[in-house]
Structure 1
Amino acid sequence: MGKIMFTEGHIEEWNLAYKNATPEVIVRKALELNESAVVTTNFRPYEAAILHAVSREESQIPVVWCDTGYNTPQTYRHAEKVINDLKLNVFLYVPKQTAAHRDVVMGIPSIDDPQHALFTEQVKLEPFRRAMEEHQPKIWFTNLRKGQTAFRDSIDIFSLSKDGVLKVSPFYHWSDEKLDLYLEENNLPNEFKYFDPTKALENRECGLHA
């Protein structure tokens, strides 16, 4: 498929046209726009929904998992189950320094600590940039939803990343209750014992999206 440049005009048009569309229809639309697509995940709560919706339309889509190295045992077990059940095509990216090494020299800095920015760069931003540089996607599926953070309230189903990649959030307008039903109907697991070492508060933006 030839190169396509996504514009704010496209974004406005698609968000209007697909506001009430099902996730399946939204995913299908995005995949028709360009073959170069990835879905990113950290296996936090409700991630099984986006992984199911996307992989059902394109079974071999690269699933980019940036593992900070600080996930809970429950999250790792949950990830293994989802990966195996959905037969996901996972590409794992981890920090260049182990968590055990970092624990000795830095630990997990608080938000107010001057080292927090370096910590976030090491465990989240650098592995993510490495993943995107290797895959060079034009379409980026993610499970951002309205009401999660102030930044996420400002976007929509379709948005543009700062690099011009089309970011697609098929469940953007969905509530937890609606997602609970989706998981139940599709026999998908969920796991709430999740830990993000770069976020002190649940409504703080993680740094990948803003």
Structure 2
Amino acid sequence: IPKQTAAHRDATMNGIPGIDNPQHDEFTEQVKLEPFRRALDELKPDVWFNAIRKDQTEFRQGLDVLSLSKDGVLKVAPLFEKTDADLDVYLDEHKLPNEHDYFDPTKVEESRECGLHTQL
């Protein structure tokens, strides 16, 4: 959980800063990177499961199913080689909903990284 409240961010940043706003990096640090870093420090996991996929960004094309975080946590990406079509078939076969409305304000654009996989 971020240390700053949404009300504090609204008051100090006038809401969620856009990616062209110099405060966007601070926003990302506050709402995603610092809380995740703090959780890793407190929980000290050996393994970090994630849902990144190779075809999502140029940066991820240089990764693999298994990698290490900067602190030596084993990062496992079981969906790494799956495509959108693969996942659509899986969802359909298992009658699962697809979350089409998801928006990550730290990434804004699908081709951007939020920093979890580049900085941690």
Normalising by structure 2, we get a TM-score of 0.88
Give the Å deviation of 1:146.
0.9
Aligned partner of 2:84 in structure 1 is: 176
Within a 5 Å distance, the mapping from 1:1-210 to structure 2 comes to 94-106=1-13, 107-210=15-118
Q: Which of 1 and 2 has greater Rg?
A: 1
Task: Say which is worse superposed, 149-158 or 191-200, in terms of deviation.
Answer: 191-200
* Deviations 1:141-195, CA, capped at 9 Å, x for gaps: 1011011111111011111111111111111111111111222333332211112
Question: Is there any run of 5+ residues in structure 1 with no aligned partner, and where?
Answer: 1-93
Give the Å deviation of 1:200.
2.9
Following the alignment from structure 2 to structure 1, what is the Cα–Cα distance between the partners of residues 91 and 43? 29
Runs of 4+ residues over 3 Å off in structure 1: none
Identity %: 65
Give the Å deviation of 1:99.
1.3
Give the Å deviation of 1:114.
2.1
Normalising by structure 1, we get a TM-score of 0.52
Give the Å deviation of 1:198.
1.4
* Deviations 1:19-52, CA, capped at 9 Å, x for gaps: xxxxxxxxxxxxxxxxxxxxxxxxxxxxxxxxxx
Following the alignment from structure 1 to structure 2, what is the Cα–Cα distance between the partners of residues 194 and 98? 21
The answer to which structure, 1 or 2, has the higher relative contact order (CA under 8 A, 6+ apart) is 1
Following the alignment from structure 2 to structure 1, what is the Cα–Cα distance between the partners of residues 56 and 11? 33
Q: Secondary structure at the match of 1:178?
A: helix
Give the Å deviation of 1:110.
2.2
Q: Secondary structure at the match of 1:209?
A: helix
Give the Å deviation of 1:202.
0.9
